[in-house]
Protein backbone atom coordinates (compact mmCIF):
# COMPACT_ATOMS: atom_id res chain seq x y z
CA UNK A 1 0.00 0.00 0.00
CA UNK A 2 1.14 3.52 -0.80
CA UNK A 3 0.85 6.38 1.69
CA UNK A 4 2.02 9.89 2.55
CA UNK A 5 3.00 10.75 6.12
CA UNK A 6 3.29 14.31 7.47
CA UNK A 7 3.29 15.92 10.92
CA UNK A 8 3.82 19.16 12.82
CA UNK A 9 2.57 21.67 10.29
CA UNK A 10 1.49 24.04 13.10
CA UNK A 11 -0.94 26.05 10.96
CA UNK A 12 -1.34 29.69 12.09
CA UNK A 13 1.76 29.59 14.29
CA UNK A 14 2.65 33.17 15.30
CA UNK A 15 6.38 32.67 14.48
CA UNK A 16 7.17 35.24 17.17
CA UNK A 17 10.81 34.17 17.63
CA UNK A 18 11.59 33.70 13.96
CA UNK A 19 12.67 37.17 12.97
CA UNK A 20 12.84 40.81 13.96
CA UNK A 21 11.10 41.63 10.67
CA UNK A 22 7.36 42.04 11.19
CA UNK A 23 6.16 40.60 7.86
CA UNK A 24 8.01 37.29 7.94
CA UNK A 25 5.43 35.57 10.14
CA UNK A 26 2.70 36.37 7.60
CA UNK A 27 4.85 35.02 4.77
CA UNK A 28 5.57 31.78 6.60
CA UNK A 29 1.87 31.28 7.32
CA UNK A 30 1.27 31.56 3.57
CA UNK A 31 4.08 29.04 3.07
CA UNK A 32 2.19 26.61 5.32
CA UNK A 33 -0.78 26.79 2.98
CA UNK A 34 1.43 26.26 -0.08
CA UNK A 35 3.09 23.28 1.58
CA UNK A 36 -0.17 21.44 2.29
CA UNK A 37 -1.37 22.17 -1.23
CA UNK A 38 1.79 20.52 -2.57
CA UNK A 39 1.08 17.46 -0.41
CA UNK A 40 -2.49 17.23 -1.72
CA UNK A 41 -1.42 17.80 -5.34
CA UNK A 42 1.14 14.99 -5.02
CA UNK A 43 -1.48 12.64 -3.57
CA UNK A 44 -3.96 13.57 -6.28
CA UNK A 45 -1.50 13.12 -9.16
CA UNK A 46 -0.09 9.83 -7.82
CA UNK A 47 -3.42 8.42 -6.59
CA UNK A 48 -2.13 7.79 -3.06
CA UNK A 49 -4.84 5.99 -1.02
CA UNK A 50 -3.71 6.98 2.49
CA UNK A 51 -2.59 10.20 4.19
CA UNK A 52 -1.35 10.03 7.79
CA UNK A 53 -1.16 13.29 9.77
CA UNK A 54 0.54 12.65 13.11
CA UNK A 55 -0.50 15.65 15.16
CA UNK A 56 0.07 19.38 15.56
CA UNK A 57 -1.65 20.10 12.26
CA UNK A 58 -2.58 23.49 13.68
CA UNK A 59 -2.11 25.71 16.74
CA UNK A 60 -5.21 25.53 18.93
CA UNK A 61 -4.45 28.91 20.49
CA UNK A 62 -4.14 30.81 17.20
CA UNK A 63 -6.00 28.84 14.52
CA UNK A 64 -8.58 30.71 12.45
CA UNK A 65 -11.75 29.16 11.06
CA UNK A 66 -10.75 30.35 7.59
CA UNK A 67 -7.57 28.27 7.85
CA UNK A 68 -9.55 25.17 8.88
CA UNK A 69 -11.85 25.74 5.91
CA UNK A 70 -8.81 26.01 3.63
CA UNK A 71 -7.42 22.71 4.96
CA UNK A 72 -10.78 20.95 4.61
CA UNK A 73 -11.27 22.27 1.07
CA UNK A 74 -7.92 20.71 0.14
CA UNK A 75 -8.97 17.41 1.72
CA UNK A 76 -12.11 17.49 -0.45
CA UNK A 77 -9.89 17.42 -3.54
CA UNK A 78 -8.74 13.87 -2.68
CA UNK A 79 -12.03 12.09 -1.91
CA UNK A 80 -10.57 8.66 -2.73
CA UNK A 81 -7.79 9.11 -0.14
CA UNK A 82 -8.43 8.05 3.46
CA UNK A 83 -7.03 10.73 5.78
CA UNK A 84 -6.13 9.79 9.35
CA UNK A 85 -5.35 12.52 11.89
CA UNK A 86 -3.91 11.88 15.37
CA UNK A 87 -4.22 15.16 17.35
CA UNK A 88 -1.12 16.23 19.27
CA UNK A 89 -0.25 18.53 22.15
CA UNK A 90 -0.70 21.73 20.10
CA UNK A 91 -4.00 20.65 18.52
CA UNK A 92 -5.64 18.38 21.11
CA UNK A 93 -9.14 17.00 20.65
CA UNK A 94 -10.76 19.23 23.29
CA UNK A 95 -14.30 20.54 23.60
CA UNK A 96 -13.77 23.78 21.67
CA UNK A 97 -11.32 22.41 19.08
CA UNK A 98 -12.14 22.42 15.41
CA UNK A 99 -11.65 18.68 15.46
CA UNK A 100 -14.75 18.58 17.64
CA UNK A 101 -16.94 21.41 16.36
CA UNK A 102 -16.14 21.56 12.62
CA UNK A 103 -17.76 19.31 10.01
CA UNK A 104 -14.84 17.67 8.22
CA UNK A 105 -15.24 15.99 4.86
CA UNK A 106 -16.18 12.30 4.75
CA UNK A 107 -12.70 10.94 4.02
CA UNK A 108 -11.22 12.37 7.25
CA UNK A 109 -10.88 10.26 10.39
CA UNK A 110 -9.81 12.06 13.59
CA UNK A 111 -8.68 9.83 16.44
CA UNK A 112 -9.65 10.53 20.03
CA UNK A 113 -8.10 9.64 23.38
CA UNK A 114 -9.34 6.04 23.28
CA UNK A 115 -7.14 3.99 20.96
CA UNK A 116 -9.24 3.02 17.97
CA UNK A 117 -8.80 0.62 15.09
CA UNK A 118 -10.15 1.39 11.63
CA UNK A 119 -10.33 -1.58 9.28
CA UNK A 120 -9.66 -0.81 5.62
CA UNK A 121 -9.28 -3.10 2.64
CA UNK A 122 -5.48 -2.99 2.82
CA UNK A 123 -4.73 -2.37 6.47
CA UNK A 124 -5.88 -2.01 10.03
CA UNK A 125 -5.14 1.57 11.09
CA UNK A 126 -4.76 2.22 14.82
CA UNK A 127 -4.72 5.74 16.19
CA UNK A 128 -4.61 7.86 19.33
CA UNK A 129 -5.18 11.57 19.83
CA UNK A 130 -4.33 13.94 22.69
CA UNK A 131 -7.43 15.07 24.61
CA UNK A 132 -5.43 17.68 26.54
CA UNK A 133 -2.26 19.70 25.99
CA UNK A 134 -0.33 17.01 27.87
CA UNK A 135 -0.40 13.22 27.85
CA UNK A 136 1.58 10.91 30.12
CA UNK A 137 0.23 7.58 28.82
CA UNK A 138 -1.62 6.77 25.60
CA UNK A 139 -2.09 3.14 26.60
CA UNK A 140 -0.46 1.60 23.53
CA UNK A 141 0.88 -1.25 25.66
CA UNK A 142 -2.73 -2.54 25.80
CA UNK A 143 -3.02 -2.87 22.01
CA UNK A 144 -3.27 -6.43 20.72
CA UNK A 145 -3.02 -6.85 16.98
CA UNK A 146 -5.70 -9.35 15.98
CA UNK A 147 -5.00 -9.89 12.30
CA UNK A 148 -1.28 -10.15 11.60
CA UNK A 149 -1.95 -11.20 8.01
CA UNK A 150 -3.00 -7.63 7.25
CA UNK A 151 -0.82 -4.54 7.40
CA UNK A 152 -1.06 -2.91 10.83
CA UNK A 153 -0.31 0.79 11.17
CA UNK A 154 -0.23 3.13 14.17
CA UNK A 155 -0.75 6.89 13.78
CA UNK A 156 0.29 8.74 16.93
CA UNK A 157 1.92 11.87 18.35
CA UNK A 158 4.55 11.47 21.07
CA UNK A 159 8.12 11.37 22.34
CA UNK A 160 10.06 8.29 21.33
CA UNK A 161 12.58 7.12 23.95
CA UNK A 162 12.31 10.45 25.80
CA UNK A 163 14.99 10.90 28.41
CA UNK A 164 13.87 13.98 30.33
CA UNK A 165 10.91 15.18 32.38
CA UNK A 166 9.49 17.29 29.54
CA UNK A 167 9.36 14.27 27.20
CA UNK A 168 7.30 12.39 29.79
CA UNK A 169 4.56 15.00 29.48
CA UNK A 170 4.09 14.42 25.74
CA UNK A 171 3.11 10.77 25.41
CA UNK A 172 6.40 8.93 26.03
CA UNK A 173 6.74 5.95 23.69
CA UNK A 174 9.03 2.94 23.79
CA UNK A 175 10.56 1.74 20.54
CA UNK A 176 10.94 -1.72 22.08
CA UNK A 177 7.21 -1.96 22.87
CA UNK A 178 6.21 -0.64 19.45
CA UNK A 179 8.34 -3.28 17.76
CA UNK A 180 7.05 -6.04 20.02
CA UNK A 181 3.47 -5.12 19.12
CA UNK A 182 4.25 -5.95 15.50
CA UNK A 183 3.22 -2.76 13.73
CA UNK A 184 4.27 -2.70 10.09
CA UNK A 185 4.53 1.10 10.24
CA UNK A 186 4.36 3.66 13.05
CA UNK A 187 3.56 7.17 11.79
CA UNK A 188 4.93 9.48 14.47
CA UNK A 189 4.72 13.20 15.09
CA UNK A 190 6.03 15.67 17.71
CA UNK A 191 9.78 15.69 17.01
CA UNK A 192 10.48 18.22 14.27
CA UNK A 193 13.63 16.49 13.05
CA UNK A 194 13.37 14.00 10.18
CA UNK A 195 14.09 10.40 11.22
CA UNK A 196 13.38 7.71 8.62
CA UNK A 197 16.69 6.13 7.57
CA UNK A 198 18.73 5.76 10.76
CA UNK A 199 18.35 1.98 10.80
CA UNK A 200 17.78 -0.79 8.27
CA UNK A 201 14.17 -1.52 7.30
CA UNK A 202 13.01 1.33 9.55
CA UNK A 203 9.28 1.30 10.26
CA UNK A 204 9.03 3.76 13.19
CA UNK A 205 9.28 7.17 11.53
CA UNK A 206 9.25 10.88 12.26
CA UNK A 207 8.76 12.94 9.07
CA UNK A 208 9.83 16.11 10.91
CA UNK A 209 7.96 19.40 10.65
CA UNK A 210 6.46 19.91 7.20
CA UNK A 211 7.93 23.39 6.99
CA UNK A 212 10.68 24.79 9.20
CA UNK A 213 9.44 26.85 12.13
CA UNK A 214 12.75 28.64 12.69
CA UNK A 215 16.50 28.53 13.10
CA UNK A 216 16.35 25.57 15.47
CA UNK A 217 14.98 23.52 12.55
CA UNK A 218 17.72 23.65 9.95
CA UNK A 219 17.86 21.53 6.82
CA UNK A 220 15.14 20.47 4.41
CA UNK A 221 11.53 19.85 5.45
CA UNK A 222 8.73 17.96 3.76
CA UNK A 223 6.89 14.63 3.72
CA UNK A 224 7.48 10.89 3.77
CA UNK A 225 6.18 8.87 0.83
CA UNK A 226 5.90 5.14 1.58
CA UNK A 227 5.21 1.88 -0.19
CA UNK A 228 4.50 -0.85 2.34
CA UNK A 229 3.99 -4.60 2.11
CA UNK A 230 4.27 -7.45 4.58
CA UNK A 231 7.63 -8.27 3.03
CA UNK A 232 9.30 -4.90 2.91
CA UNK A 233 9.07 -1.13 3.05
CA UNK A 234 10.28 1.60 0.73
CA UNK A 235 10.41 5.14 2.13
CA UNK A 236 11.34 8.38 0.42
CA UNK A 237 11.63 11.87 1.83
CA UNK A 238 10.34 14.59 -0.49
CA UNK A 239 11.25 18.21 0.38
CA UNK A 240 8.31 20.60 0.29
CA UNK A 241 9.42 23.76 2.08
CA UNK A 242 10.99 26.06 -0.49
CA UNK A 243 12.76 28.04 2.24
CA UNK A 244 15.81 26.75 4.09
CA UNK A 245 17.10 28.37 7.27
CA UNK A 246 20.84 28.81 7.70
CA UNK A 247 23.20 29.99 10.44
CA UNK A 248 26.24 32.10 9.55
CA UNK A 249 28.97 33.23 11.96
CA UNK A 250 31.13 36.33 11.56
CA UNK A 251 34.17 36.79 13.79
CA UNK A 252 34.46 40.51 14.54
CA UNK A 253 37.84 40.32 16.31
CA UNK A 254 39.73 41.91 13.41
CA UNK A 255 36.97 44.35 12.46
CA UNK A 256 37.60 47.81 13.90
CA UNK A 257 34.78 49.98 12.60
CA UNK A 258 31.01 49.71 12.27
CA UNK A 259 31.20 50.54 8.57
CA UNK A 260 33.65 47.70 8.00
CA UNK A 261 31.25 45.23 9.64
CA UNK A 262 28.32 46.44 7.54
CA UNK A 263 30.36 46.02 4.34
CA UNK A 264 31.34 42.49 5.36
CA UNK A 265 27.71 41.57 6.03
CA UNK A 266 26.49 43.02 2.75
CA UNK A 267 29.16 41.08 0.84
CA UNK A 268 27.89 37.71 2.13
CA UNK A 269 26.29 35.57 -0.57
CA UNK A 270 23.58 32.97 0.01
CA UNK A 271 21.37 30.77 -2.13
CA UNK A 272 18.06 32.19 -3.35
CA UNK A 273 15.88 30.16 -0.96
CA UNK A 274 17.96 30.84 2.18
CA UNK A 275 16.96 32.90 5.21
CA UNK A 276 19.89 33.54 7.54
CA UNK A 277 20.53 34.15 11.20
CA UNK A 278 23.81 36.02 11.53
CA UNK A 279 25.78 35.21 14.67
CA UNK A 280 28.45 37.73 15.63
CA UNK A 281 31.28 36.15 17.63
CA UNK A 282 34.78 37.07 18.80
CA UNK A 283 36.14 40.14 20.60
CA UNK A 284 34.51 43.38 19.52
CA UNK A 285 36.49 46.60 19.18
CA UNK A 286 33.43 48.87 19.14
CA UNK A 287 29.92 48.80 20.52
CA UNK A 288 27.52 46.77 18.37
CA UNK A 289 23.82 47.58 18.30
CA UNK A 290 22.02 44.87 16.32
CA UNK A 291 18.94 47.04 15.83
CA UNK A 292 21.10 49.71 14.22
CA UNK A 293 22.62 47.04 11.99
CA UNK A 294 19.15 46.01 10.79
CA UNK A 295 18.59 49.56 9.56
CA UNK A 296 21.97 49.87 7.85
CA UNK A 297 22.64 46.52 6.18
CA UNK A 298 21.19 45.86 2.73
CA UNK A 299 21.60 42.08 2.59
CA UNK A 300 17.98 40.84 2.30
CA UNK A 301 18.81 37.29 3.39
CA UNK A 302 19.76 38.35 6.94
CA UNK A 303 16.54 38.25 8.95
CA UNK A 304 17.96 37.79 12.43
CA UNK A 305 21.15 38.88 14.20
CA UNK A 306 22.53 37.40 17.40
CA UNK A 307 25.36 39.22 19.16
CA UNK A 308 27.60 36.77 21.02
CA UNK A 309 30.68 38.98 21.00
CA UNK A 310 32.66 40.00 24.06
CA UNK A 311 34.40 43.31 24.63
CA UNK A 312 38.03 43.30 23.51
CA UNK A 313 40.10 44.09 26.60
CA UNK A 314 43.45 43.14 28.14
CA UNK A 315 42.58 42.86 31.80
CA UNK A 316 46.17 42.35 33.04
CA UNK A 317 47.35 45.62 31.43
CA UNK A 318 44.35 47.53 32.74
CA UNK A 319 45.06 46.21 36.26
CA UNK A 320 48.38 48.12 36.27
CA UNK A 321 46.67 51.46 35.61
CA UNK A 322 46.33 53.81 38.58
CA UNK A 323 42.74 54.58 37.70
CA UNK A 324 39.25 53.53 38.73
CA UNK A 325 39.21 51.23 35.70
CA UNK A 326 42.54 49.76 36.85
CA UNK A 327 41.23 49.07 40.36
CA UNK A 328 38.12 47.43 38.87
CA UNK A 329 40.23 45.28 36.51
CA UNK A 330 42.50 44.18 39.38
CA UNK A 331 39.53 43.17 41.53
CA UNK A 332 37.90 41.21 38.70
CA UNK A 333 41.17 39.45 37.84
CA UNK A 334 41.35 38.18 41.40
CA UNK A 335 37.82 36.81 41.10
CA UNK A 336 38.63 35.09 37.80
CA UNK A 337 41.72 33.45 39.36
CA UNK A 338 39.84 31.98 42.32
CA UNK A 339 40.16 28.22 42.69
CA UNK A 340 37.30 25.82 41.91
CA UNK A 341 35.48 28.40 39.81
CA UNK A 342 32.62 26.80 37.84
CA UNK A 343 32.04 27.61 34.17
CA UNK A 344 28.78 29.30 35.10
CA UNK A 345 30.49 31.50 37.71
CA UNK A 346 33.20 32.39 35.20
CA UNK A 347 30.59 33.45 32.63
CA UNK A 348 28.87 35.63 35.24
CA UNK A 349 32.16 37.32 36.15
CA UNK A 350 33.06 37.88 32.49
CA UNK A 351 29.67 39.46 31.88
CA UNK A 352 30.14 41.67 34.94
CA UNK A 353 33.53 42.77 33.53
CA UNK A 354 31.92 43.75 30.25
CA UNK A 355 29.18 45.75 31.95
CA UNK A 356 31.66 47.39 34.34
CA UNK A 357 34.13 48.40 31.63
CA UNK A 358 31.34 49.74 29.43
CA UNK A 359 30.14 51.86 32.38
CA UNK A 360 33.65 53.13 33.04
CA UNK A 361 34.30 54.25 29.46
Contacts of 106 (CB under 8 A, 6+ apart): 79
pLDDT at 312 (0 to 100): 82
Among 132, 120, 84, 119, smallest CA distance to 104 is for: 84
Domain locations along the chain: 2-239, 244-310, 313-361
* Mean pLDDT estimate for the chain: 93
DSSP state of 51: E
99 pLDDT higher than 90: yes
The CATH fold assigned to 2-239 is Purple Acid Phosphatase; chain A, domain 2 (3.60.21)
pLDDT digits (tens, 9 = 90+) for 188-217: 999 999 999 999 899 999 999 999 999 999
Lowest average pLDDT, out of 10-19, 129-138, 225-234, goes to 10-19
165 pLDDT higher than 80: no
Kindly give, in sequence order, each residue whose CB lies less than 8 Å from that of residue 201, ignoring residues fewer than 6 positions away: 232, 233
Mean of the pLDDT values across residues 286-313?
90
pLDDT tops 60 at residue 17: yes
DSSP class of residue 169?
Answer: G
Cα 239 from Cα 129, distance rounded (Å): 26
Q: Please give the pLDDT value at position 317.
A: 86
Does the structure show a pLDDT above 80 at 234? Answer: yes
Cα separation, 176 vs 361, in Å, equals 61
Cα–Cα nearest to 205, from 217, 219, 221, 190: 190
Report pLDDT digits (tens) over 58-84: 999 999 999 999 999 999 999 999 999
Percent of the chain with pLDDT over 70: 98
| H/E element, 124 | strand 123-127
* pLDDT above 90 (res 279): yes
So what's the pLDDT on residue 163? Answer: 56
Cβ density class 84-97: b for 16+ within 10 Å, e for less: bbbbbbbbbbeeeb
Q: What is the pLDDT of residues 182-191, one digit of tens each?
A: 999 999 999 9
Residue 179: CA count within 13 A, CB half-sphere? 10
What is the secondary structure of 184-202 as a DSSP string?
Answer: SEEEEES--S-BSSSSTT-
DSSP character at residue 167: G
| Cβ contact 126:143 at 8 Å | yes
Radius of gyration for the alpha carbons in the chain, expressed in angstroms and rounded: 26
Task: Render pLDDT for 34-46 as a digit per residue (tens, 0 to 9).
Answer: 999 999 999 999 9
User: Reduced to 3 states, what is the DSSP secondary structure of residue 330?
Assistant: helix
| Residue 108 pLDDT grade (very low, low, confident, very high; cuts 50, 70, 90) | very high
Q: How confident is the model at residue 272 (pLDDT cuts 50, 70, 90)?
A: very high
Full-model pTM? 0.88
Amino acid sequence: MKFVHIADMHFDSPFVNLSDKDTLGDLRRLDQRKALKKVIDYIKYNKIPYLFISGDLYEQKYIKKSTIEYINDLFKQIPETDIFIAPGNHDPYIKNSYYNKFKWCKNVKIFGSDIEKVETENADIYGFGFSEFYCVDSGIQKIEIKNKEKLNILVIHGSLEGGNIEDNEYNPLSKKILKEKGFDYVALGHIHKLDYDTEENQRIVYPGSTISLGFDELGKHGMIVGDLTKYGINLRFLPIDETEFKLKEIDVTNIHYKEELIEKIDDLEFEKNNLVELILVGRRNFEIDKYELYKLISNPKIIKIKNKTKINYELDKMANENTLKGLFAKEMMQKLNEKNLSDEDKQIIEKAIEIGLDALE
